[in-house]
Structure 1
Protein backbone atom coordinates (compact mmCIF):
# COMPACT_ATOMS: atom_id res chain seq x y z
CA UNK A 1 0.00 0.00 0.00
CA UNK A 2 1.12 3.54 -0.70
CA UNK A 3 2.81 4.92 2.46
CA UNK A 4 0.89 8.20 2.25
CA UNK A 5 -2.39 6.34 2.11
CA UNK A 6 -1.33 4.10 5.01
CA UNK A 7 -0.40 7.15 7.10
CA UNK A 8 -3.73 8.86 6.43
CA UNK A 9 -5.63 5.73 7.40
CA UNK A 10 -3.63 5.30 10.59
CA UNK A 11 -4.28 8.94 11.55
CA UNK A 12 -8.03 8.89 10.90
CA UNK A 13 -10.09 10.77 13.50
CA UNK A 14 -12.75 8.05 13.58
CA UNK A 15 -12.83 4.29 14.07
CA UNK A 16 -12.77 2.71 10.62
CA UNK A 17 -14.38 -0.50 11.87
CA UNK A 18 -17.32 1.39 13.36
CA UNK A 19 -17.86 3.27 10.09
CA UNK A 20 -17.70 -0.03 8.20
CA UNK A 21 -20.43 -1.44 10.44
CA UNK A 22 -22.62 1.61 9.79
CA UNK A 23 -22.17 1.34 6.01
CA UNK A 24 -22.89 -2.40 6.07
CA UNK A 25 -25.99 -1.95 8.20
CA UNK A 26 -24.68 -3.34 11.47
CA UNK A 27 -22.01 -5.51 13.03
CA UNK A 28 -23.69 -8.75 11.97
CA UNK A 29 -23.94 -7.60 8.35
CA UNK A 30 -20.22 -6.78 8.32
CA UNK A 31 -19.44 -10.22 9.72
CA UNK A 32 -21.64 -11.90 7.12
CA UNK A 33 -20.18 -9.87 4.23
CA UNK A 34 -16.65 -10.80 5.24
CA UNK A 35 -17.69 -14.42 5.58
CA UNK A 36 -18.98 -14.40 2.01
CA UNK A 37 -15.85 -12.63 0.78
CA UNK A 38 -13.65 -15.25 2.44
CA UNK A 39 -15.65 -18.03 0.80
CA UNK A 40 -14.67 -16.57 -2.57
CA UNK A 41 -11.10 -15.52 -1.79
CA UNK A 42 -10.21 -18.96 -0.39
CA UNK A 43 -11.91 -21.01 -3.11
CA UNK A 44 -9.62 -22.07 -5.99
CA UNK A 45 -12.62 -22.11 -8.35
CA UNK A 46 -12.83 -18.34 -7.97
CA UNK A 47 -9.22 -17.44 -8.66
CA UNK A 48 -8.97 -14.94 -11.51
CA UNK A 49 -6.81 -15.44 -14.54
CA UNK A 50 -4.59 -12.64 -15.81
CA UNK A 51 -6.82 -10.91 -18.35
CA UNK A 52 -3.81 -9.49 -20.16
CA UNK A 53 -3.04 -12.94 -21.58
CA UNK A 54 -6.56 -13.93 -22.60
CA UNK A 55 -8.28 -13.41 -25.93
CA UNK A 56 -11.80 -12.02 -26.07
CA UNK A 57 -13.17 -15.50 -26.72
CA UNK A 58 -11.29 -16.91 -23.75
CA UNK A 59 -12.58 -14.13 -21.49
CA UNK A 60 -16.13 -14.90 -22.54
CA UNK A 61 -15.76 -18.65 -21.99
CA UNK A 62 -14.19 -18.10 -18.57
CA UNK A 63 -16.94 -15.66 -17.60
CA UNK A 64 -19.62 -18.20 -18.55
CA UNK A 65 -17.85 -20.91 -16.55
CA UNK A 66 -17.43 -18.62 -13.55
CA UNK A 67 -21.10 -17.64 -13.68
CA UNK A 68 -22.19 -21.27 -13.65
CA UNK A 69 -19.85 -21.93 -10.74
CA UNK A 70 -21.14 -18.84 -8.96
CA UNK A 71 -24.77 -19.97 -9.16
CA UNK A 72 -23.88 -23.47 -7.91
CA UNK A 73 -21.80 -22.12 -5.03
CA UNK A 74 -24.50 -19.67 -3.96
CA UNK A 75 -26.93 -22.56 -3.71
CA UNK A 76 -24.39 -24.69 -1.83
CA UNK A 77 -23.66 -21.84 0.61
CA UNK A 78 -27.33 -20.97 1.07
CA UNK A 79 -26.94 -17.42 -0.24
CA UNK A 80 -30.41 -16.16 -1.16
CA UNK A 81 -30.67 -12.67 0.32
CA UNK A 82 -30.51 -10.08 -2.52
CA UNK A 83 -27.83 -8.02 -0.77
CA UNK A 84 -25.73 -11.12 -0.07
CA UNK A 85 -26.06 -12.14 -3.71
CA UNK A 86 -24.80 -8.66 -4.69
CA UNK A 87 -21.76 -9.04 -2.39
CA UNK A 88 -21.05 -12.48 -3.82
CA UNK A 89 -21.36 -11.41 -7.46
CA UNK A 90 -19.40 -8.19 -7.00
CA UNK A 91 -16.31 -9.98 -5.71
CA UNK A 92 -16.70 -13.11 -7.80
CA UNK A 93 -17.16 -11.45 -11.19
CA UNK A 94 -14.56 -8.71 -10.72
CA UNK A 95 -13.05 -7.75 -14.11
CA UNK A 96 -15.62 -9.91 -15.91
CA UNK A 97 -19.01 -9.13 -17.40
CA UNK A 98 -21.61 -11.39 -15.82
CA UNK A 99 -23.09 -13.48 -18.69
CA UNK A 100 -26.24 -14.28 -16.70
CA UNK A 101 -26.66 -10.85 -15.14
CA UNK A 102 -29.44 -9.77 -17.51
CA UNK A 103 -31.30 -12.99 -16.74
CA UNK A 104 -31.59 -12.02 -13.08
CA UNK A 105 -31.64 -8.22 -13.31
CA UNK A 106 -33.97 -7.74 -16.30
CA UNK A 107 -35.47 -10.96 -17.67
CA UNK A 108 -36.94 -12.34 -14.42
CA UNK A 109 -38.15 -8.96 -13.07
CA UNK A 110 -39.88 -8.30 -16.40
CA UNK A 111 -41.61 -11.67 -16.20
CA UNK A 112 -42.71 -10.96 -12.63
CA UNK A 113 -43.98 -7.44 -13.32
CA UNK A 114 -45.28 -7.64 -16.89
CA UNK A 115 -45.74 -11.31 -17.77
CA UNK A 116 -49.11 -13.03 -17.94
CA UNK A 117 -49.86 -15.89 -15.57
CA UNK A 118 -49.28 -18.39 -18.37
CA UNK A 119 -45.93 -16.81 -19.27
CA UNK A 120 -44.80 -16.81 -15.64
CA UNK A 121 -45.76 -20.46 -15.20
CA UNK A 122 -43.83 -21.46 -18.30
CA UNK A 123 -40.67 -19.33 -17.97
CA UNK A 124 -40.02 -18.35 -14.34
CA UNK A 125 -38.85 -21.69 -12.96
CA UNK A 126 -36.54 -22.51 -15.91
CA UNK A 127 -35.00 -19.02 -15.76
CA UNK A 128 -34.42 -19.25 -11.99
CA UNK A 129 -32.74 -22.64 -12.49
CA UNK A 130 -30.77 -21.38 -15.53
CA UNK A 131 -32.32 -24.03 -17.74
CA UNK A 132 -32.89 -21.03 -19.98
CA UNK A 133 -30.98 -17.76 -19.87
CA UNK A 134 -33.02 -14.71 -20.72
CA UNK A 135 -31.59 -11.85 -22.73
CA UNK A 136 -32.82 -9.15 -25.05
CA UNK A 137 -32.15 -7.30 -28.28
CA UNK A 138 -32.27 -3.53 -28.50
CA UNK A 139 -32.34 -1.06 -31.33
CA UNK A 140 -32.30 2.71 -31.55
CA UNK A 141 -33.77 3.15 -35.00
CA UNK A 142 -35.02 6.58 -33.97
CA UNK A 143 -31.47 7.86 -34.46
CA UNK A 144 -31.68 7.22 -38.18
CA UNK A 145 -32.42 10.34 -40.22
CA UNK A 146 -34.06 8.42 -43.04
CA UNK A 147 -35.60 5.26 -41.62
CA UNK A 148 -37.37 4.37 -44.87
CA UNK A 149 -34.05 4.30 -46.71
CA UNK A 150 -32.31 1.87 -44.40
CA UNK A 151 -32.34 -1.82 -45.27
CA UNK A 152 -31.62 -4.46 -42.65
CA UNK A 153 -29.59 -7.63 -43.07
CA UNK A 154 -29.49 -10.19 -40.26
CA UNK A 155 -26.60 -12.65 -40.36
CA UNK A 156 -26.09 -15.79 -38.31
CA UNK A 157 -22.46 -16.29 -37.34
CA UNK A 158 -20.41 -18.44 -34.99
CA UNK A 159 -18.22 -16.75 -32.39
CA UNK A 160 -16.13 -18.38 -29.67
CA UNK A 161 -16.89 -22.07 -29.36
CA UNK A 162 -20.55 -21.99 -28.41
CA UNK A 163 -22.45 -18.67 -28.34
CA UNK A 164 -24.43 -17.71 -31.41
CA UNK A 165 -24.61 -14.09 -32.47
CA UNK A 166 -27.22 -12.47 -34.63
CA UNK A 167 -25.80 -9.20 -35.91
CA UNK A 168 -27.46 -6.51 -37.94
CA UNK A 169 -25.50 -5.00 -40.79
CA UNK A 170 -27.25 -1.80 -41.90
CA UNK A 171 -27.24 -0.93 -45.59
CA UNK A 172 -28.47 2.19 -47.31
CA UNK A 173 -30.73 2.00 -50.34
CA UNK A 174 -29.77 3.68 -53.59
CA UNK A 175 -31.93 6.68 -52.76
CA UNK A 176 -30.63 7.09 -49.22
CA UNK A 177 -26.91 6.48 -49.45
CA UNK A 178 -26.14 9.18 -46.89
CA UNK A 179 -28.51 7.75 -44.32
CA UNK A 180 -26.57 6.88 -41.14
CA UNK A 181 -27.39 3.52 -39.58
CA UNK A 182 -29.00 3.21 -36.19
CA UNK A 183 -27.25 1.69 -33.23
CA UNK A 184 -28.03 -1.97 -32.76
CA UNK A 185 -26.96 -4.28 -30.00
CA UNK A 186 -26.07 -7.94 -30.26
CA UNK A 187 -28.47 -10.67 -29.36
CA UNK A 188 -26.44 -13.47 -27.80
CA UNK A 189 -27.97 -16.89 -27.36
CA UNK A 190 -26.20 -18.67 -24.53
CA UNK A 191 -25.74 -22.46 -24.30
CA UNK A 192 -29.03 -24.29 -23.58
CA UNK A 193 -30.94 -21.06 -24.07
CA UNK A 194 -34.22 -21.13 -25.90
CA UNK A 195 -35.15 -17.77 -27.30
CA UNK A 196 -38.43 -16.93 -25.62
CA UNK A 197 -40.54 -15.87 -28.56
CA UNK A 198 -43.59 -16.62 -26.46
CA UNK A 199 -42.73 -13.60 -24.34
CA UNK A 200 -43.53 -11.54 -27.41
CA UNK A 201 -46.55 -13.56 -28.49
CA UNK A 202 -49.15 -15.14 -26.23
CA UNK A 203 -48.32 -18.57 -24.78
Structure 2
Protein backbone atom coordinates (compact mmCIF):
# COMPACT_ATOMS: atom_id res chain seq x y z
CA UNK A 1 0.00 0.00 0.00
CA UNK A 2 2.91 2.39 0.65
CA UNK A 3 4.22 1.88 -2.89
CA UNK A 4 0.78 2.55 -4.36
CA UNK A 5 0.42 5.65 -2.18
CA UNK A 6 3.80 6.97 -3.35
CA UNK A 7 2.83 6.35 -6.96
CA UNK A 8 -0.54 8.03 -6.49
CA UNK A 9 0.88 11.12 -4.76
CA UNK A 10 3.74 11.43 -7.25
CA UNK A 11 1.37 11.14 -10.22
CA UNK A 12 -1.01 13.70 -8.73
CA UNK A 13 1.66 16.24 -7.84
CA UNK A 14 3.43 15.79 -11.19
CA UNK A 15 0.16 16.24 -13.08
CA UNK A 16 -0.60 19.41 -11.15
CA UNK A 17 2.90 20.73 -11.82
CA UNK A 18 2.56 20.05 -15.56
CA UNK A 19 -0.12 22.73 -15.69
CA UNK A 20 1.18 25.02 -12.96
CA UNK A 21 4.60 26.59 -13.60
CA UNK A 22 4.54 28.29 -10.18
CA UNK A 23 4.09 24.95 -8.42
CA UNK A 24 6.86 23.38 -10.52
CA UNK A 25 9.20 26.25 -9.69
CA UNK A 26 8.45 25.91 -5.97
CA UNK A 27 9.08 22.16 -5.80
CA UNK A 28 11.99 21.68 -8.20
CA UNK A 29 15.54 21.31 -6.97
CA UNK A 30 17.08 24.75 -7.50
CA UNK A 31 20.31 24.94 -5.46
CA UNK A 32 20.30 28.71 -4.81
CA UNK A 33 16.87 28.43 -3.17
CA UNK A 34 18.35 25.99 -0.69
CA UNK A 35 21.59 27.89 -0.21
CA UNK A 36 20.08 31.38 0.04
CA UNK A 37 16.57 30.83 1.33
CA UNK A 38 17.06 27.57 3.28
CA UNK A 39 14.28 25.78 1.39
CA UNK A 40 15.65 22.37 2.31
CA UNK A 41 12.34 20.68 1.52
CA UNK A 42 13.30 20.93 -2.15
CA UNK A 43 15.72 18.07 -1.54
CA UNK A 44 12.60 15.90 -1.20
CA UNK A 45 9.90 17.66 -3.22
CA UNK A 46 11.85 17.47 -6.48
CA UNK A 47 11.28 13.72 -6.36
CA UNK A 48 7.52 14.17 -6.70
CA UNK A 49 7.53 16.16 -9.95
CA UNK A 50 8.57 15.13 -13.46
CA UNK A 51 9.47 16.72 -16.78
CA UNK A 52 6.68 15.07 -18.78
CA UNK A 53 4.32 12.10 -18.88
CA UNK A 54 6.93 9.72 -20.31
CA UNK A 55 9.36 10.60 -17.52
CA UNK A 56 6.62 10.05 -14.94
CA UNK A 57 5.35 6.79 -16.45
CA UNK A 58 8.80 5.25 -16.75
CA UNK A 59 9.63 5.93 -13.10
CA UNK A 60 6.25 4.91 -11.71
CA UNK A 61 5.98 1.69 -13.74
CA UNK A 62 9.44 0.69 -12.53
CA UNK A 63 8.51 1.55 -8.95
CA UNK A 64 5.25 -0.42 -9.23
CA UNK A 65 6.93 -3.67 -10.29
CA UNK A 66 9.90 -3.59 -7.93
CA UNK A 67 8.56 -1.46 -5.11
CA UNK A 68 5.90 -3.96 -4.09
CA UNK A 69 8.55 -6.64 -3.56
CA UNK A 70 10.84 -4.35 -1.61
CA UNK A 71 7.98 -2.94 0.43
CA UNK A 72 7.21 -6.43 1.71
CA UNK A 73 10.90 -7.13 2.38
CA UNK A 74 11.45 -3.90 4.31
CA UNK A 75 8.09 -3.98 6.09
CA UNK A 76 8.88 -7.39 7.59
CA UNK A 77 12.02 -5.91 9.14
CA UNK A 78 11.48 -2.20 9.79
CA UNK A 79 7.76 -1.76 9.15
CA UNK A 80 5.86 0.10 6.44
CA UNK A 81 7.02 3.46 7.79
CA UNK A 82 10.59 2.19 7.62
CA UNK A 83 10.12 1.43 3.94
CA UNK A 84 8.66 4.91 3.40
CA UNK A 85 11.64 6.42 5.22
CA UNK A 86 13.96 4.43 2.97
CA UNK A 87 12.28 5.80 -0.16
CA UNK A 88 12.22 9.42 1.02
CA UNK A 89 15.81 9.28 2.24
CA UNK A 90 16.84 7.80 -1.11
CA UNK A 91 15.45 10.88 -2.85
CA UNK A 92 17.69 13.06 -0.67
CA UNK A 93 20.84 10.92 -0.74
CA UNK A 94 20.69 10.48 -4.52
CA UNK A 95 20.53 14.22 -5.16
CA UNK A 96 23.04 15.47 -2.55
CA UNK A 97 26.16 15.10 -4.75
CA UNK A 98 24.36 16.99 -7.53
CA UNK A 99 23.34 19.71 -5.11
CA UNK A 100 26.89 20.07 -3.80
CA UNK A 101 28.27 20.23 -7.35
CA UNK A 102 25.79 22.90 -8.44
CA UNK A 103 25.34 24.70 -5.14
CA UNK A 104 26.25 28.08 -6.65
CA UNK A 105 24.77 27.45 -10.10
CA UNK A 106 21.64 29.56 -10.52
CA UNK A 107 20.95 28.00 -13.91
CA UNK A 108 20.73 24.40 -12.68
CA UNK A 109 17.45 22.56 -12.08
CA UNK A 110 16.69 18.91 -11.32
CA UNK A 111 13.48 16.94 -10.86
CA UNK A 112 12.17 13.40 -10.86
CA UNK A 113 12.06 10.26 -8.74
CA UNK A 114 14.79 8.44 -10.67
CA UNK A 115 17.27 8.41 -7.78
CA UNK A 116 14.82 6.83 -5.35
CA UNK A 117 13.53 4.42 -7.99
CA UNK A 118 17.13 3.34 -8.68
CA UNK A 119 17.54 2.67 -4.96
CA UNK A 120 14.47 0.42 -4.94
CA UNK A 121 15.52 -1.34 -8.16
CA UNK A 122 19.06 -2.11 -7.00
CA UNK A 123 17.84 -3.27 -3.60
CA UNK A 124 15.67 -5.75 -5.53
CA UNK A 125 18.63 -6.86 -7.66
CA UNK A 126 20.50 -7.80 -4.47
CA UNK A 127 17.66 -10.13 -3.56
CA UNK A 128 17.09 -11.64 -7.00
CA UNK A 129 20.14 -11.23 -9.27
CA UNK A 130 18.79 -13.70 -11.84
CA UNK A 131 15.27 -12.29 -12.03
CA UNK A 132 14.39 -11.16 -15.58
CA UNK A 133 14.10 -7.45 -16.24
CA UNK A 134 12.20 -6.45 -19.36
CA UNK A 135 13.06 -3.28 -21.21
CA UNK A 136 10.73 -1.41 -23.53
CA UNK A 137 10.40 -3.01 -26.98
CA UNK A 138 12.62 -5.96 -25.94
CA UNK A 139 10.52 -9.15 -25.47
CA UNK A 140 13.34 -11.14 -23.84
CA UNK A 141 14.13 -10.58 -20.18
CA UNK A 142 17.66 -9.61 -19.11
CA UNK A 143 19.09 -11.12 -15.89
CA UNK A 144 18.88 -8.44 -13.23
CA UNK A 145 22.59 -8.40 -12.40
CA UNK A 146 23.49 -8.10 -16.12
CA UNK A 147 21.10 -5.18 -16.41
CA UNK A 148 22.73 -3.64 -13.31
CA UNK A 149 26.21 -3.84 -14.85
CA UNK A 150 25.11 -2.18 -18.09
CA UNK A 151 23.04 0.41 -16.21
CA UNK A 152 25.91 1.39 -13.93
CA UNK A 153 28.44 1.45 -16.76
CA UNK A 154 26.20 3.59 -18.94
CA UNK A 155 25.39 5.98 -16.08
CA UNK A 156 29.07 6.42 -15.18
CA UNK A 157 29.97 7.07 -18.81
CA UNK A 158 27.16 9.56 -19.35
CA UNK A 159 27.83 11.33 -16.03
CA UNK A 160 31.48 11.86 -16.98
CA UNK A 161 30.53 12.90 -20.48
CA UNK A 162 28.11 15.54 -19.21
CA UNK A 163 25.45 17.34 -21.18
CA UNK A 164 21.84 16.32 -21.67
CA UNK A 165 18.91 16.64 -19.30
CA UNK A 166 19.26 13.35 -17.42
CA UNK A 167 20.81 13.36 -13.95
CA UNK A 168 22.94 10.21 -14.19
CA UNK A 169 24.67 11.07 -10.92
CA UNK A 170 21.37 10.65 -9.06
CA UNK A 171 20.91 7.24 -10.68
CA UNK A 172 24.33 6.11 -9.49
CA UNK A 173 24.04 7.42 -5.94
CA UNK A 174 20.49 6.11 -5.65
CA UNK A 175 21.62 2.65 -6.76
CA UNK A 176 24.53 2.68 -4.29
CA UNK A 177 22.29 3.84 -1.45
CA UNK A 178 19.67 1.18 -2.17
CA UNK A 179 22.24 -1.59 -1.93
CA UNK A 180 24.04 -0.15 1.10
CA UNK A 181 20.81 0.44 3.03
CA UNK A 182 19.63 -3.10 2.32
CA UNK A 183 22.91 -4.69 3.41
CA UNK A 184 23.09 -2.56 6.57
CA UNK A 185 19.55 -3.53 7.48
CA UNK A 186 20.02 -7.21 6.64
CA UNK A 187 23.76 -8.13 6.43
CA UNK A 188 22.96 -11.67 5.26
CA UNK A 189 21.76 -10.23 1.96
CA UNK A 190 25.33 -9.78 0.68
CA UNK A 191 26.19 -13.45 1.30
CA UNK A 192 22.92 -14.63 -0.17
CA UNK A 193 23.47 -12.44 -3.24
CA UNK A 194 26.87 -14.04 -3.93
CA UNK A 195 25.44 -17.54 -3.42
CA UNK A 196 22.56 -16.91 -5.80
CA UNK A 197 24.85 -15.28 -8.32
CA UNK A 198 27.01 -18.43 -8.35
CA UNK A 199 23.94 -20.62 -8.96
CA UNK A 200 22.36 -19.45 -12.24
CA UNK A 201 18.59 -19.72 -12.07
CA UNK A 202 17.22 -17.38 -14.69
CA UNK A 203 13.68 -16.33 -13.97
CA UNK A 204 13.87 -16.44 -10.17
Structure with higher helix content: 2
For the pair shown, the structure with the greater C-alpha radius of gyration is: 1
> TM (normalized to structure 2)?
0.27
Give the TM-score normalised by the residue count of structure 1: 0.27
Query: When you count strand as a share of all residues, which structure comes out higher?
Result: 1
Q: Which has the higher contact order (CA 8 A, sep 6+)?
A: 2
